Amino acid sequence: MTLSLTSPAFAAGAAIPARYTCDGANISPPLAWSGVPPAAKSLALIVDDPDAPDPAAPQRTWVHWVLYNLPGGASGLPEGLHGEDFPPGSGEGINDWQQSGYGGPCPPIGRHRYVHKLYALDRMLPTLVKATKAQLEQAMQGHIIERAELIGLYERG
Protein backbone atom coordinates (compact mmCIF):
# COMPACT_ATOMS: atom_id res chain seq x y z
CA MET A 1 0.00 0.00 0.00
CA THR A 2 1.35 3.41 -0.97
CA LEU A 3 0.98 6.54 1.14
CA SER A 4 -1.64 8.79 -0.45
CA LEU A 5 -2.67 12.37 0.41
CA THR A 6 -5.98 13.93 -0.71
CA SER A 7 -8.40 16.68 0.25
CA PRO A 8 -12.20 16.57 0.07
CA ALA A 9 -11.99 20.34 -0.65
CA PHE A 10 -10.00 20.15 -3.91
CA ALA A 11 -8.68 17.56 -6.34
CA ALA A 12 -5.00 17.07 -7.12
CA GLY A 13 -3.93 19.71 -9.63
CA ALA A 14 -7.19 21.67 -9.22
CA ALA A 15 -7.95 25.07 -7.73
CA ILE A 16 -7.96 25.49 -3.97
CA PRO A 17 -11.28 27.11 -2.95
CA ALA A 18 -10.95 30.75 -1.84
CA ARG A 19 -12.24 29.74 1.62
CA TYR A 20 -8.76 28.36 2.39
CA THR A 21 -6.89 31.45 1.17
CA CYS A 22 -6.26 35.05 2.26
CA ASP A 23 -9.22 35.99 0.08
CA GLY A 24 -11.56 33.87 2.20
CA ALA A 25 -11.58 32.55 5.77
CA ASN A 26 -7.84 31.70 5.54
CA ILE A 27 -8.37 28.40 7.34
CA SER A 28 -6.59 25.12 6.66
CA PRO A 29 -8.31 22.76 4.23
CA PRO A 30 -9.36 19.30 5.33
CA LEU A 31 -6.78 16.67 4.43
CA ALA A 32 -7.06 12.88 4.32
CA TRP A 33 -4.45 10.20 3.89
CA SER A 34 -4.23 6.46 3.60
CA GLY A 35 -1.57 3.82 3.19
CA VAL A 36 0.51 4.91 6.19
CA PRO A 37 3.26 2.30 6.56
CA PRO A 38 2.83 0.12 9.68
CA ALA A 39 6.34 1.13 10.82
CA ALA A 40 5.41 4.84 10.90
CA LYS A 41 5.69 6.26 14.41
CA SER A 42 4.74 9.81 13.38
CA LEU A 43 3.77 11.97 10.44
CA ALA A 44 4.92 15.42 9.35
CA LEU A 45 3.28 17.88 6.96
CA ILE A 46 4.82 20.78 5.09
CA VAL A 47 2.78 23.07 2.82
CA ASP A 48 4.73 25.43 0.61
CA ASP A 49 4.62 27.45 -2.61
CA PRO A 50 7.61 26.96 -4.94
CA ASP A 51 6.39 29.73 -7.27
CA ALA A 52 6.96 32.81 -5.09
CA PRO A 53 6.70 35.60 -5.81
CA ASP A 54 5.92 35.16 -9.53
CA PRO A 55 5.46 31.77 -11.25
CA ALA A 56 7.05 33.22 -14.39
CA ALA A 57 10.23 34.00 -12.41
CA PRO A 58 10.17 32.16 -9.07
CA GLN A 59 12.74 33.35 -6.55
CA ARG A 60 11.99 31.28 -3.48
CA THR A 61 9.72 28.71 -1.89
CA TRP A 62 7.25 30.30 0.52
CA VAL A 63 6.31 28.13 3.51
CA HIS A 64 2.63 28.10 4.55
CA TRP A 65 2.44 25.39 7.24
CA VAL A 66 4.80 23.16 9.23
CA LEU A 67 3.46 20.28 11.37
CA TYR A 68 5.22 17.31 12.95
CA ASN A 69 4.70 14.42 15.36
CA LEU A 70 1.19 13.80 14.13
CA PRO A 71 0.22 10.27 15.23
CA GLY A 72 1.13 7.52 12.77
CA GLY A 73 -2.38 6.13 13.16
CA ALA A 74 -4.08 9.39 12.15
CA SER A 75 -5.99 9.42 8.86
CA GLY A 76 -6.26 13.14 8.23
CA LEU A 77 -6.79 16.65 9.53
CA PRO A 78 -10.12 18.48 9.78
CA GLU A 79 -10.81 21.86 8.21
CA GLY A 80 -9.69 24.88 10.19
CA LEU A 81 -7.26 23.09 12.48
CA HIS A 82 -5.66 25.20 15.24
CA GLY A 83 -2.80 24.42 17.61
CA GLU A 84 -5.09 23.60 20.52
CA ASP A 85 -6.87 21.01 18.35
CA PHE A 86 -3.78 18.93 17.56
CA PRO A 87 -3.28 15.54 19.17
CA PRO A 88 -1.06 15.60 22.28
CA GLY A 89 2.63 15.57 21.39
CA SER A 90 2.09 17.11 17.96
CA GLY A 91 4.16 20.14 17.08
CA GLU A 92 3.59 23.14 14.89
CA GLY A 93 6.45 25.07 13.36
CA ILE A 94 6.50 28.56 11.92
CA ASN A 95 5.64 29.64 8.41
CA ASP A 96 7.32 32.35 6.36
CA TRP A 97 5.10 34.99 7.99
CA GLN A 98 7.05 34.05 11.16
CA GLN A 99 3.86 32.72 12.76
CA SER A 100 2.78 29.30 13.88
CA GLY A 101 -0.26 27.90 12.18
CA TYR A 102 -1.62 27.78 8.69
CA GLY A 103 -1.22 30.72 6.33
CA GLY A 104 -3.35 30.29 3.24
CA PRO A 105 -2.46 30.99 -0.37
CA CYS A 106 -2.11 34.71 -1.10
CA PRO A 107 -0.09 34.99 -4.32
CA PRO A 108 0.85 38.51 -5.44
CA ILE A 109 0.74 37.57 -9.13
CA GLY A 110 -0.15 34.58 -11.29
CA ARG A 111 -1.30 31.03 -10.57
CA HIS A 112 0.81 29.35 -7.89
CA ARG A 113 1.23 25.71 -6.91
CA TYR A 114 0.69 24.84 -3.24
CA VAL A 115 2.48 21.62 -2.44
CA HIS A 116 1.18 19.64 0.54
CA LYS A 117 3.86 17.10 1.52
CA LEU A 118 3.12 14.35 4.01
CA TYR A 119 5.99 12.35 5.48
CA ALA A 120 5.74 9.03 7.32
CA LEU A 121 8.59 8.82 9.83
CA ASP A 122 10.11 5.89 11.70
CA ARG A 123 10.18 7.82 14.99
CA MET A 124 8.70 10.68 16.95
CA LEU A 125 10.82 13.79 16.54
CA PRO A 126 12.23 15.75 19.47
CA THR A 127 10.36 18.90 20.44
CA LEU A 128 11.37 21.63 18.01
CA VAL A 129 10.83 25.17 19.30
CA LYS A 130 9.49 27.45 16.55
CA ALA A 131 10.73 25.01 13.94
CA THR A 132 11.19 26.28 10.42
CA LYS A 133 10.71 24.06 7.39
CA ALA A 134 14.51 23.72 7.15
CA GLN A 135 14.80 22.67 10.80
CA LEU A 136 12.04 20.10 10.39
CA GLU A 137 13.63 18.72 7.23
CA GLN A 138 16.94 18.43 9.10
CA ALA A 139 15.26 16.58 12.00
CA MET A 140 13.54 14.20 9.54
CA GLN A 141 16.75 13.24 7.69
CA GLY A 142 17.27 9.49 7.77
CA HIS A 143 13.82 8.88 9.26
CA ILE A 144 11.49 9.22 6.26
CA ILE A 145 9.84 5.90 5.41
CA GLU A 146 7.50 7.20 2.73
CA ARG A 147 6.25 10.49 1.31
CA ALA A 148 3.04 11.64 -0.42
CA GLU A 149 2.20 14.90 -2.15
CA LEU A 150 -0.93 16.85 -3.07
CA ILE A 151 -0.71 19.96 -5.23
CA GLY A 152 -3.46 22.57 -5.33
CA LEU A 153 -3.49 25.73 -7.41
CA TYR A 154 -4.55 29.26 -6.60
CA GLU A 155 -4.65 32.54 -8.48
CA ARG A 156 -6.21 35.68 -7.08
CA GLY A 157 -9.05 37.06 -9.15
Helix (H/G/I), strand (E/B), else coil: 50: strand
CATH of 4-154, one of 1.10.630.10, 3.40.50.720, 3.40.50.800, 3.90.280.10: 3.90.280.10
Contacting residues for 43 by C-beta, under 8 A, at least 6 apart:
33, 36, 68, 70, 71, 72, 74, 118, 119, 120, 121
pLDDT digits (tens, 9 = 90+) for 38-63: 999 999 999 999 999 999 999 999 99
Which sign does the torsion angle of CA 106, 100, 2, 4 carry? negative
CB 131 within 8 A of CB 63: no
| Tens of pLDDT, residues 11-22 | 999 999 999 999
For a pLDDT cut of 70, what percent of the chain falls above it?
99
Q: Spell out the domain ranges in the chain.
A: 4-154
Q: Residue 82: is its pLDDT beyond 90?
A: no
CB-CB neighbours of 74 under 10 Å: 15
Specify the pairing of strand 76-77 against strand 42-52: unpaired
